[in-house]
C-alpha cells in the first residue's frame, strides 16, 4: 500500500499536536508545518529504507509507547516532544549508506564528523539547522531549549549501530527499574526513557 506525502506529513503533525507540540514550543502552527515539510524534503525518496516513511514509522511507534502504553506519564511535555522530534529527524538527509562505508571511502561527511557516528551527527546537524530556520525553538525558555536540543542529539546519536548493545543494556536496566518501581524521575531518569 502507498500513502502520499501529504498524508504522511499530516500524520506526523497530528502526533505532534496530540502531544501538545504547539503549546510546548510556543510556536505558530505554520512554523511547525514548515519544519515538518522541510524534514520530509530532506528524506530521500530513492533511499529504500531510511526515508520519510521510516521516520513516520518510528514516530508512530514512539507515539504508541507514550500514549497506549502510557510511558508519557513518566515524562514532561518537553521530554515527550524531544522523543517525537528525535524520531522524526533521526535519519534526515541519510544518503543510503552506513558509517563504515562513509569512513572507508573518506567521504566528505566522514571527514566533517571525524569518522565518529557520521550519519547520526549529520542528521543532528541538519535537524538543528532546520529548527533554527523555522524558529522552532526560539520561544522556549533558554533552559528548556538547551535541554530539548541536547536530548534530541543524544537520542539521535543513540541510533548509531555501533552503540546498539550499550543502548540495549541500558534499556534492560531501565526495564528492571520500572518493574521494581525504582525509576528516578529526575532529568537523567527521563532521558533514559527517551
DSSP 8-class letter at 48:
S
**How many residues can be counted in the chain?**
194
What's the grid cell of residue 26? 510556543
Catalytic residue among 44, 50, 54, 122: 50
| Residues 6+ away with beta carbon under 8 Å from 187 | 147
DSSP 8-class letter at 183:
-
Q: Coil, helix or strand for 64?
A: helix
Instruction: Compute the 3-state secondary structure of the chain and give helix, strand, coil in percent, each to the nearest 5.
Output: 70, 0, 30
CA separation, residue 70 to residues 57, 64, 193 (Å): 18, 8, 12
Q: Is 94 in the active site? A: no
Which is it for the CA torsion 146, 18, 20, 16, positive or negative? positive
Residues acting as catalytic residues? 50
Amino acid at each position: 500500500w502507498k500513502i502520499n506525502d501529504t498524508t504522511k506529513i499530516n500524520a506526523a503533525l497530528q502526533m505532534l499536536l496530540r502531544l501538545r507540540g504547539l503549546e510546548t514550543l510556543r510556536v505558530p502552527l505554520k512554523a511547525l508545518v514548515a519544519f515538518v515539510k522541510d524534514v520530509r524534503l530532506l528524506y530521500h525518496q530513492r533511499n529504500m529504507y531510511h526515508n520519510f516513511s521510516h521516520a513516520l514509522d518510528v514516530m508512530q511507534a514512539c507515539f504508541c509507547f507514550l500514549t497506549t502504553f502510557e510511558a508519557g506519564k513518566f515524562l514532561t511535555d518537553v521530554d515527550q516532544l524531544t522523543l517525537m522530534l528525535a524520531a522524526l529527524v533521526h535519519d534526515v538527509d541519510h544518503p543510503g549508506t552506513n558509517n563504515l562505508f562513509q569512513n572507508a571511502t573518506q567521504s566528505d561527511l566522514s571527514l566533517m564528523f571525524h569518522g565518529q557516528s557520521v550519519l547520526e551527527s549529520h542528521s543532528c546537524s541538519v535537524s538543528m539547522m532546520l529548527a533554527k530556520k523555522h524558529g522552532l525553538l526560539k520561544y522556549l525558555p533558554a533552559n528548556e531549549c538547551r535541554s530539548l536540543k541536547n536530548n534530541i542529539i543524544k537520542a539521535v546519536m543513540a541510533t548509531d549501530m555501533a552503540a546498539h548493545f550499550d543502548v540495549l543494556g541500558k534499556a534492560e536496566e531501565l526495564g528492571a527499574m520500572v518493574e521494581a518501581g525504582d525509576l528516578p524521575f529526575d532529568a537523567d531518569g527521563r532521558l533514559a526513557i527517551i
